[in-house]
Structure 1
Amino acid sequence: MSYQREFGKKLRIGLVGIGFHSYRNILPAFNYLPITLEAVCNHSNKELLNLTCAQYGCRGYQNVKDMYEKENLDAVFICVAPQVHAPLVEEALDAGLHVWVEKPPAMRASEVKRLLDRKEGKVVVTGFKKAFMPSTRKALEVMKSEKYGNTTGMLAIYPMNMPENGEEILEQKIFTNWLGNGCHPLSLMIAAGGNVKSVITHTNKTGNGSVILEFENGLIGDLCLASGPWPLENYQFFGDSWHLKIENSTRVTLQRGIPFEYGITTGFVPEGDDSGAVVWEPQNSLATLENKALFVQGMYDEMKYFCDCVLENKAPEYCGLDFAYHVMQVYEAALVSNGEKVEIK
């Protein structure tokens, strides 16, 4: 772990968007990244732009074209309204820049496909933070381990309603919570299970129910669209001799089972430490980094990964445009399913 001032090689970056989310999460994360913030762009609020530039010692612009022409940038971070994500990414690529863009990357899968066709070797990473959470990395480690064997099932529980009139929403590019936050559990499930073959959505009149994902590898995933107060979000992965659970992003429990003989075994704590549960959770008694939201929720990891890909001149294996395109395909399929199976092409 290094801090911004300690990196020898840094990217010269610009930031597009300085709203609440950007100010709360993106700008603070820069303290831990190999970057130099050269400029920020915000087209609508000149006073806010000036205040931000004064705080971070950078230059300000109200037009991205001006920023790209006048600054010698390597990359740009984009965090604005999702309706303009795709055109802003396209403009940055045309300017020859690498791009990190907040989720969702666009309003339609077709928009992401156009970006894929014109990225021309540039690194583009989408901020699907759930795929980068430390708890997700632990789940992937277990799922890919020969020690634990095959994964047989997946369950995600997320507070969400599926909106009605899916075709109209897609045609008119209407922003809904299913796009804004539904991509969180979808991105995690796809990161864990791989490409999705088909989708079926079953919901009741309130929009609650399940989105069933059939993965190409045969795995079945159930995204439960739940109702209720936070904390509610959790993910479960099942194997022949184990299961792992992520609760509220901060607690990971690996259940390895307890050996027993039915009707004979009387103790639930057998000798040794190779059975039962293992639990990981952040320390909250020290001023450390792993208990901060930037790290627990994967925001630091997604941005650091983008910077590393650019600096090392390598294509992203995780959450690149191909991954973003597939997430958007699944998002659209679930939105229009209405109980019918939708194949992912």
Structure 2
Amino acid sequence: MWNNMNNLIRRYKDIRNRKRLGNVYDGEYAFVGIGGHSLDNLYPVLGYLNVRLKYICCKSPDKIPVIENKYMGVRATADIGDILGDDNIRGVFVSAAPASHFGIAVEILRSGKSLFIEKPPCASLEELCRLIDMEKMYGSPVVVAGLQKRYSPAVSVLRKKLRGCCKATGYSLKYLTGLYPEGDALTDLFIHPLDLVCFLFGPPSIQGIDIIRSKDGGQTFMLILKHPQVTGMLELSTSYTWADGCETITVNTEKGVFVLTQMRNLVFKPRYGSVFGVPVEKIVRCSPSAVTLFSENGFVPTIANNQLYTHGYFNELKTFVDSVEGRRSENMSGLSSLTDTYRLLGDICRADKRGM
């Protein structure tokens, strides 16, 4: 009996390993950008997936020998024209300075190549609409925007629950970091939580807003957003700390409360109900209970328990490459799907200028 069981286990592991070894991508790709975010979060995923990078494009020519020494077999260049002129390049990853993304995206879309563009792909709704028009005009096969929270497995579970048996009645979201002097916090950082609530609850309108700026350069956006079927309260701030950053969304539903923390842990706390309007908890002693729907397992170091996976980086990049290579995949962050997010960003900017 034990021999049969061991044979089954070995056979299962052999099939699993052969399947993973046989999962090979044929296309050649290029990457524009070699900054900290790319090195920490994107290049490691591409390496794990064995995506064949032919070019890495950087801004500074003096980085070329350093890049080619680190990434053997890759050609480094400071001229994006080398990439756009190579007919063998099927897709281009872009993760450069946020302010340069729109201009780079325009060049790549004009070439007709597939594009993965890190957030923010552009600075305004007008620029987004221009990119959407260019995508259609030049026939770029696949365009994916790097809003990775849409691809987080915890967000996927929560979204299915909210679309299924649990109707949301309200939510609160906190996104708290330290100072961000190197860019625009609204489009570089706060685009993530704002896009997340648009993705989960639909197009919002601003019911209330207060913007607070501290003397050291920190800024806090207090928002009340009205979606088609739910109202939410948000605190987005760079007046806290990076050492203990916070990202939590609490969603109240008719059946209970969902709490998603740092994209790593999703729990559901059921509602006990009432009898003739009196809460059951005031009649009968009830022990607090919570059901874990998703949790990052720090004990087992597999890809599914890696933060690059739980935060959505793995799935967004895999979705792009799978789509380029004609494999079945769901693009959840195409440019046209970002319209509500950019309309909201524009409304916040206009409210800020009016001094609301």
Which TM-score band applies after superposition, normalised by the shorter structure? 0.7 to 0.9
Secondary structure, in 3 states, of the residue corresponding to 2:255? coil
Where does residue 170 of structure 1 map in the other structure?
none
Where does residue 176 of structure 1 map in the other structure?
184
Q: CA deviation at 1:119?
A: 0.4
Confirm whether residue 210 of structure 1 aligns to residue 210 of structure 2. no
178, 181, 202: which one pairs with 1:194?
202
Where does residue 37 of structure 2 map in the other structure?
21
Using the size of structure 2 for normalisation, the TM-score is 0.81
Larger radius of gyration: 2
How far apart, in 1, do the equivalents of 2:90 and 2:232 lie? 39
Percent identical across equivalent pairs? Answer: 22
Aligned length: 322
How far apart, in 2, do the equivalents of 1:314 and 1:117 lie? 25
Higher helix residue share: 2
Confirm whether residue 82 of structure 1 aligns to residue 98 of structure 2. yes
Where does residue 222 of structure 1 map in the other structure?
233
123, 129, 146: which one pairs with 1:113?
129
Asked if the contact 2:319–2:331 (Cα under 8 Å) also holds between the matched residues in 1, the reply is: no
Q: CA deviation at 1:96?
A: 1.3
180, 185, 189: which one pairs with 2:193?
185
Output aligned runs, 1:9-158, within 5 Å: 9-33=25-49, 35-46=51-62, 48-56=63-71, 57-70=73-86, 72-120=88-136, 121-122=139-140, 123-146=142-165, 148=166, 150-158=167-175
List per-residue Cα deviations over 1:116-157 (Å, max 9, x = no partner): 0110242211111122212211211211113x3x11112210
Secondary structure, in 3 states, of the residue corresponding to 1:118? helix
Question: What amino acid is the match of 1:151?
Answer: A
Q: Runs of 4 or more off by more than 4 Å in structure 1?
A: 1-5, 160-163, 313-317, 338-342
List per-residue Cα deviations over 1:65-109 (Å, max 9, x = no partner): 122213511100001011110111111111110100110111222
Secondary structure, in 3 states, of the residue corresponding to 1:333? helix
Q: CA deviation at 1:194?
A: 1.6
Asked if the contact 2:28–2:54 (Cα under 8 Å) also holds between the matched residues in 1, the reply is: yes
Output aligned runs, 1:283-322, within 5 Å: 283-312=297-326, 317-322=331-336
Question: What amino acid is the match of 1:334?
Answer: I
Asked if the contact 2:258–2:266 (Cα under 8 Å) also holds between the matched residues in 1, the reply is: yes
How far apart, in 1, do the equivalents of 2:55 and 2:87 lie? 8
Asked if the contact 1:130–1:136 (Cα under 8 Å) also holds between the matched residues in 2, the reply is: yes
Greater relative contact order structure (CA < 8 Å, 6+ sep):
1
How far apart, in 2, do the equivalents of 1:4 and 1:66 lie? 33
How far apart, in 2, do the equivalents of 1:34 and 1:330 lie? 37
Given the superposition, is the C-alpha separation of residues 90 and 84 from structure 1 closer, same or farther in structure 2, using an over 3 Å criterion?
same
What are structure 1's unaligned runs of at least 5 residues? Answer: 164-173, 270-275
- Superposition CA RMSD, Å: 3.0
Where does residue 9 of structure 2 map in the other structure?
none
Q: CA deviation at 1:321?
A: 0.7
Given the superposition, is the C-alpha separation of residues 161 and 9 from structure 1 closer, same or farther in structure 2, using an over 3 Å criterion?
closer
Q: CA deviation at 1:314?
A: 8.2
Segment drifting more, 97-106 vs 107-116: 107-116
Asked if the contact 2:154–2:266 (Cα under 8 Å) also holds between the matched residues in 1, the reply is: yes
Using the size of structure 1 for normalisation, the TM-score is 0.83
Q: CA deviation at 1:209?
A: 4.6
